[in-house]
Copies of this chain bind each other. A is one copy, B any other.
Amino acid sequence: YSVLSSEKKKDQIEVKEAVAMETELLRDYGFGRQQLTEMLGHACATAITQVFPLASLEKRQPTGLVACGPDQNGCVGLACARHLRVFEYIPTVFIPKRSSDALHQDLRLQCERMDLPFLSYLPTEVQLINEAYNLVVDAVLGPETELASVGEPFTGVLQTLRGLKAPIVSLDIPSGWDADESSSDGISPALLVSLMTPKRCALSFSGSHFLAGRFLPFDLQRKYELNLPKFSGTDAVVQL
C-alpha cells in the first residue's frame, strides 16, 4: 500500500490537519458528530470481529473490556462497545472519568440501557484483567490529547494497560503516544484502527492495522492529498 503512494500524497496525517479536516466535515459538509461517531464505532467493532473473531476467543465467554476516555475517542469507544454487543461479544465498559459532553452521556446511557456491564474502577492487578477479558479496547486518549497534560486517573490506567498480556485494540492512536511522532514507547496494541486517516505515529506501529471512516468525501481526500486505500464491497474497514 505505501509502495503505491505517489510522491505527493500522504499515507499519514498530522494532528492539526486531522482537526482541520474534521472541522470541515462538520461545518461545511453538514455532518454531525453523532453520525460520524456511530459509523466509526461500528467500523471499529467490525475490525475487531475480523482480527478477533468470536470462534477464536480463548475464554469461555466472548468478553472484552472497553476503556473509554471523556473526549471524542471515548465516544467512539462507547459506540464500539455497543456494536460489539450487537455482534454477540460481551463487552464491559470502563469510564475512568465522567464526561460533560452530551454525546458521551447519550452513548453511555445507550450502553447502560442495553445492559452492558460497567467497571467502577480498573484493577491494578493486571492478572485479573488478563483472566477476565479476551481483549481490551483502548479508547482512552485521542490524538488531540497530549500525555503531558493529563494526570490521574489516566496515567494510572495507561500504566495498567502497559502491563497487560491480553491483546489491546487501540482506536485512532495508542493512548499516550504522540500522534505526530514516528516512535514511541508506551502501550503496545495488537490492533490499531485508524479513524478517517492514519496519524503519523502509525508509521512505527507493527501490529494489525485497519482504517475506518469510509464516509470521508473524495473531495476532502483530494484537498488533504490523502493516499487512502480502496474499501471493497460494503466493507466498513480496510486492512493496511
The reply to whether the CB of A110 lies closer than 8 angstroms to some CB of chain B is yes
Q: Which of B32, B109, B214 contacts A106 (CB 8 A)?
A: B32
Q: Given A30-B106, A38-B39, output 10 extra A-B contacts at Cβ < 8 Å.
A: A28-B113, A30-B107, A30-B108, A35-B35, A38-B38, A49-B233, A86-B215, A87-B234, A113-B219, A114-B219
Q: Footprint of B on A, CB under 8 Å?
A: 28-32, 34-35, 37-39, 42, 45-46, 49, 82, 86-87, 105-110, 113-115, 214-215, 217-219, 231, 233-234, 236
Residue of chain B at shortest CB distance from A45:
B234
* Pair B31/A106 contact, Cβ less than 8 Å: yes
- Rounded to whole angstroms, the CA-CA distance of A203 and B31 in the bound complex is 36
- Rounded to whole angstroms, the CA-CA distance of A141 and B194 in the bound complex is 38
Q: Which of B29, B39, B233 contacts A113 (CB 8 A)?
A: B29
* Among A42, A215, A234, A236, residue most surrounded by chain B Cβ atoms (within 10 Å): A234
Nearest Cβ distance between residue A151 and chain B, in whole angstroms?
Answer: 29
CB pairs A–B below 8 angstroms (22 shown): A28-B113, A29-B114, A30-B105, A30-B106, A30-B109, A30-B110, A30-B113, A31-B106, A32-B34, A32-B106, A34-B34, A34-B38, A35-B35, A35-B38, A38-B38, A38-B39, A49-B234, A86-B214, A87-B233, A113-B219, A114-B217, A114-B218
Contacts A35-B35, A38-B39, A42-B39: A29 and B233 contacting too (C-beta < 8 A)? Answer: no
Nearest Cβ distance between residue A230 and chain B, in whole angstroms?
Answer: 10
Q: Which of B31, B113, B214 contacts A110 (CB 8 A)?
A: B31
